[in-house]
Structure 1
Amino acid sequence: MKKETKKNIRESRRDFMKKSAVAAGGFMIVPRHVLGGPGFIAPSDKLIIAGIGVGGKGETDLKSFHSSGKAEIAFLCDVDDRRAKASRRKFSKAKYYKDYREMMDKEANNFDAVCVSTPDHNHAVQTMAAMERGKHVYVQKPLTHDIYEARMLTEGARKHKVVTQMGNQGASGDGVRLMKEWYDAGIIGEVEEVYVWTDRPIWPQGIPWPKSNAAIPAELDWNLWLGTAPYKEYIDGLVPFNWRGWWDYGTGALGDMGCHLIEPPFSVLDLKYPKEVECSVGSVYVDAFARGYFPESCPPSSHVIMKFEDSNSKDINLHWMDGGIKPMRPEELGPEETFGDGSNGALIIGTKGKMMCGTYGTNPRLLPTSKTDQVTVPQKYKRVPGGMNGHYAQWVEAAIAGYGNMEVSSPFDIAGPLTESLLIANLAIRGYDIQKKKGNKVSYPGRDLKMIWDAENMRVTNFDEANQFVKREYPDGFTL
């Protein structure tokens, strides 16, 4: 391919600007990559964003980008017209699509960045499609549905040199930075045990797939919503929220809350990948004498133990508990003091002391809590302007600055390993229920195992049956 001359490039840009003005009815904000290549700051100093999944959390994400004063929402994409209504009203000049692939093919030259806020099972293909076109990406948590996808997106962000951020806004909060300063100062000593818990799920889990189908709402493109998932008939209640409890689409309580709750100890202790994982899960009673296990659905509760190594190669056990299971209250916590934030929390136990926080790393406290106001350490880590709320503006400004010119709190280099760790925990949960026939009886060979994880090769080394969940096969029309 011949190298374009500067004259041809100028003429091409000039021609594009004329066509854009006609096509958009005077919409004159032009992406900086069109005006001056990667990293160029447009005269408007605005990041031009396309949203994929623009209802619910996607709607609030787009509003947060826009409120930074440095972003324009130019394109909207959603498979459900009902969910898209509020964003279409708010950003009435934005062009609307249902299929992200069509939007990418037709409009890739007209925006700088993409926000992905769709169900977990479609995150990876949508994000990779954006990165391959040189677009900066903001992706809701968890980063991906599968372990393999998380690794590919992490590598893809480096390859395509784009600014990335996962939507775990607590990573930009002051709480996790203060906790890291306490830890670095030796206040709690060396850490050996971490407990993280949540009251989720707050949607149905541990249930059989409904037998009765329902009529597909006229506003919903069911095939596009399914995307990378295997085809099933539409059922009531799955959209817009209860998909989280089904393995084909969601990642359970771990996927919903793990990125918010595990991120503080993950960041404080500089963890990477677990080397071992084991679990126990709750079940439901289907009648007075039998318990039910439904492999299509995430369990109603679980306790997972992941073993990590810290930077000094010392073992750290991280316990994840959901479905209302909690660790024992620390003896240093007063009988009427709130543990974590009540519903959720993280407790880090060291050889010299303990510290805890709530969701997103909020309200960090040393134990006993009276110690919190008595201990002062130098500020070592720069705070993000606006704290958690600044998570959005941070990504916008970093994307405007260009790849490698400004730090963000949860780039894929951090979000990828964090997400992989959660999904490895889910690997143990799913492997727990793998069935084998022994004569007339059914056994569950994964139930009593400690699974050994080979992070480099992304596989369980001592229970191959669990590796089927590391990477999915996509239906035709979807690729990574």
Structure 2
Amino acid sequence: MKTLLESNSCTSRRQFLKATAMGALASVVAPAFVRGANLNSRLQVASVGVNGMGFTDVSWIGSHKAVKFVGFCDVDTTRFGKADEAHPGVPHFQDFREMFSKLGGQFDAASVSTPDHMHAYIALDAMRRGKHVFCQKPLTHTVWESRQMRLQAEKSKVITQMGNQIHSHKEYRTAVELLRDGVIGKVKAVHSWVGVQGNNYSKLQAPPSPGPVPASLNWQVWVGTAPMRDYAPDVYHPFKWRDWQDFGSGALGDFGCHILDPIFTALDIREPMTVRAEHDGINQQVWPVSETVHYLFPGTRFTADGTLPVTWYDGGRQPDKSLAQMPESAKLPGSGSLIIGEEGNMVLPHVGMPQLYPVKKFRNFDIKAESQLIHWHVWVEGVLSGKKTSDGFDYAGPLAEAVQLGNVAARFPGQELKWDAKALRITNHAEASARLTKQYRQSWEIHAVA
């Protein structure tokens, strides 16, 4: 299918960006919600995970006038308070399987805001029931799961969206517009980074002594697909799970789907050809304290060459500032991207407006900010209209695959892994290829999309 840019050379890139952001490129049949003639009908949403980022999702999804919550699920009964205050009277569940089964045809869509290791299991269950899904980044816990999410969304013909909300922010949308307009020319290389460490939350290298499971917590369901381990207070739940390989995805998983997103969108990159990682502080339990991940992507019409190097840094690592041609007094942001073009460079702070260098060349260049969208409403409107979003699993799946491929490379430092996306395998390293998926706990297995 041709994009608007390809089908009409007179169509502006500004129009293209607006159209894709609102999900206007293509429509699909939406099986779980048909508004029809009843304009007063509401989208019935069941939410899994309702505190922390889960409450953010509940708040923004629920701010759309067409949404009605019909179920709140959280493994910890102490964490319903904020959601209850905002939306009184919504039934509570501790196990999403019970919620999905009891609600049956009484819900149209689900939001998934849990630790990474449970995203795919819950979202796939919902989609196989014909439900539309909003799922937090990094979408999944493994490369294989990301592929299954994309395939199931396509098979079930549901409207999906990943919760990397910066995708809809004016800062990233403006950067995408500038890059697609060729303001810095064709792109030669990209450097992206985040300041946090891969074991930033617990600061631990191994599981500590176990403790009693709180009466409010269903630990069996919290562990879910992962190998069973003892509960330890203030180590995994809440939030510190991100450090642990069994549950989270480290700094790259936490921020890669945010910071790399405008690069994927603007430059039309998708599957890397190779990936190689260098790092400090990894073991069999936790993610690296700091790392550098080198990707090589096939070139596109927006790149200078037949290949595009994209380098990721975290844990305090950054690219050489001199590459940006910034003034001596300027500093790279704590997190963001440096995009090197044939005719100039862009520094894109994480959730900040793009900056163009060298200053002398772009001193009089007027950056026109794009509009800000409400990311969660884009998904709701997609469900109501039956039109795909620009951040659906057909786009977010490959982005998440690339991010999780970096985490595979982290387990084999210094080794260049050759990626065959079509075959879903690493062609030169059997052990690394086996890491594209994981072992699931008995009765928590995920089955491939048939």
TM-score, length-normalised on structure 2?
0.86
Which secondary structure does the structure 1 equivalent of 2:297 belong to?
strand
Kindly indicate whether residue 344 of structure 2 is the aligned counterpart of residue 353 of structure 1.
yes
Deviation per residue, 1:399-436 (Å, 9 max, x gap): 1112xx3x423111110000000001111002x2xxxx
In the alignment, the residues of structure 2 paired with residue 41 and residue 171 of structure 1 have an alpha-carbon distance, to the nearest angstrom, of 32
Kindly indicate whether residue 321 of structure 2 is the aligned counterpart of residue 329 of structure 1.
yes
The 1:328–1:41 alpha-carbon spacing in structure 2 relative to 1, beyond 3 Å, is farther
Residue in structure 2 matched with residue 413 of structure 1 by the alignment = 394
The structural deviation recorded for 1:182 is 2.5
Determine if contact 2:174/2:353 at 8 Å carries over to the other structure: no
Deviation per residue, 1:90-132 (Å, 9 max, x gap): 2221111111111111102111110000000000010011111
The 1:113–1:350 alpha-carbon spacing in structure 2 relative to 1, beyond 3 Å, is same
Deviation per residue, 1:188-214 (Å, 9 max, x gap): 222121000111137247843224111
Q: Which amino acid aligns with 1:263?
A: D
Q: Which amino acid aligns with 1:271?
A: I
Determine if contact 1:172/1:409 at 8 Å carries over to the other structure: no
In the alignment, the residues of structure 1 paired with residue 346 and residue 249 of structure 2 have an alpha-carbon distance, to the nearest angstrom, of 28
The 1:181–1:70 alpha-carbon spacing in structure 2 relative to 1, beyond 3 Å, is same
Determine if contact 1:276/1:306 at 8 Å carries over to the other structure: yes
The structural deviation recorded for 1:150 is 0.4
In the alignment, the residues of structure 1 paired with residue 357 and residue 219 of structure 2 have an alpha-carbon distance, to the nearest angstrom, of 50
The 1:460–1:196 alpha-carbon spacing in structure 2 relative to 1, beyond 3 Å, is same
Please give the residue correspondences for 1:242-257 in structure 2 after superposition, counting only pairs within 5 Å: 242-257=240-255
Deviation per residue, 1:426-454 (Å, 9 max, x gap): 11002x2xxxxxxxxxxxxxx33211111
- What RMSD in Å do the two structures reach over aligned CA positions? 2.2
Identity %: 35
Which secondary structure does the structure 1 equivalent of 2:80 belong to?
helix
Deviation per residue, 1:149-201 (Å, 9 max, x gap): 10011011111111101011121123333323323333222212100011113
Residue in structure 2 matched with residue 73 of structure 1 by the alignment = 69
| Aligned mate of 1:364, from 349, 354, 367 | 354
Residue in structure 1 matched with residue 285 of structure 2 by the alignment = 296
Q: How many residues align?
A: 411
Determine if contact 2:180/2:267 at 8 Å carries over to the other structure: no
Residue in structure 2 matched with residue 8 of structure 1 by the alignment = none
Kindly indicate whether residue 99 of structure 2 is the aligned counterpart of residue 115 of structure 1.
no
The structural deviation recorded for 1:374 is 2.6
Deviation per residue, 1:321-357 (Å, 9 max, x gap): 0001111113521233342xx3201110012111121
The structural deviation recorded for 1:144 is 0.3
Deviation per residue, 1:290-346 (Å, 9 max, x gap): xxx52221010000000001225711111100001111113521233342xx32011
Kindly indicate whether residue 434 of structure 2 is the aligned counterpart of residue 468 of structure 1.
yes
In the alignment, the residues of structure 2 paired with residue 164 and residue 136 of structure 1 have an alpha-carbon distance, to the nearest angstrom, of 6
Residue in structure 2 matched with residue 422 of structure 1 by the alignment = 403
Residue in structure 2 matched with residue 230 of structure 1 by the alignment = 227
The 1:124–1:448 alpha-carbon spacing in structure 2 relative to 1, beyond 3 Å, is same
Determine if contact 1:356/1:365 at 8 Å carries over to the other structure: yes
The 1:42–1:94 alpha-carbon spacing in structure 2 relative to 1, beyond 3 Å, is farther
Determine if contact 1:41/1:400 at 8 Å carries over to the other structure: no
In the alignment, the residues of structure 2 paired with residue 369 and residue 137 of structure 1 have an alpha-carbon distance, to the nearest angstrom, of 44
Which secondary structure does the structure 2 equivalent of 1:82 belong to?
helix
The structural deviation recorded for 1:373 is 6.2
Kindly indicate whether residue 201 of structure 2 is the aligned counterpart of residue 220 of structure 1.
no
Residue in structure 2 matched with residue 375 of structure 1 by the alignment = 365
Q: Which amino acid aligns with 1:63?
A: S
The structural deviation recorded for 1:62 is 0.7
Instruction: Please tell me whether Structure 1 or Structure 2 has the larger radius of gyration of its CA atoms.
Output: 1
TM-score, length-normalised on structure 1?
0.81
In the alignment, the residues of structure 2 paired with residue 371 and residue 46 of structure 1 have an alpha-carbon distance, to the nearest angstrom, of 52
Determine if contact 2:172/2:353 at 8 Å carries over to the other structure: no
Q: Which amino acid aligns with 1:108?
A: G
In the alignment, the residues of structure 2 paired with residue 370 and residue 254 of structure 1 have an alpha-carbon distance, to the nearest angstrom, of 34
Q: Which amino acid aligns with 1:366?
A: L
Please give the residue correspondences for 1:139-288 in structure 2 after superposition, counting only pairs within 5 Å: 139-201=135-197, 203-204=200-201, 207-237=204-234, 238-283=236-281
Range with bigger deviation, 330-339 or 72-81: 330-339
In the alignment, the residues of structure 1 paired with residue 37 and residue 159 of structure 2 have an alpha-carbon distance, to the nearest angstrom, of 14
The 1:369–1:58 alpha-carbon spacing in structure 2 relative to 1, beyond 3 Å, is farther
Q: Which amino acid aligns with 1:93?
A: G
Deviation per residue, 1:250-295 (Å, 9 max, x gap): 0000111111101111111111011101111013xxxxxxxxx522
Q: Which runs of 5+ in 2 are unaligned?
A: 1-29
The structural deviation recorded for 1:143 is 0.5
Q: Which amino acid aligns with 2:247?
A: Y
Which secondary structure does the structure 1 equivalent of 2:334 belong to?
coil
In the alignment, the residues of structure 2 paired with residue 53 and residue 95 of structure 1 have an alpha-carbon distance, to the nearest angstrom, of 13
In the alignment, the residues of structure 1 paired with residue 57 and residue 225 of structure 2 have an alpha-carbon distance, to the nearest angstrom, of 23
In the alignment, the residues of structure 2 paired with residue 241 and residue 88 of structure 1 have an alpha-carbon distance, to the nearest angstrom, of 21
The structural deviation recorded for 1:477 is 2.6
Q: Which runs of 5+ in 1 are unaligned?
A: 1-31, 284-292, 433-446
In the alignment, the residues of structure 1 paired with residue 342 and residue 307 of structure 2 have an alpha-carbon distance, to the nearest angstrom, of 13
In the alignment, the residues of structure 2 paired with residue 206 and residue 78 of structure 1 have an alpha-carbon distance, to the nearest angstrom, of 26
Determine if contact 1:116/1:138 at 8 Å carries over to the other structure: yes
Determine if contact 2:31/2:157 at 8 Å carries over to the other structure: no
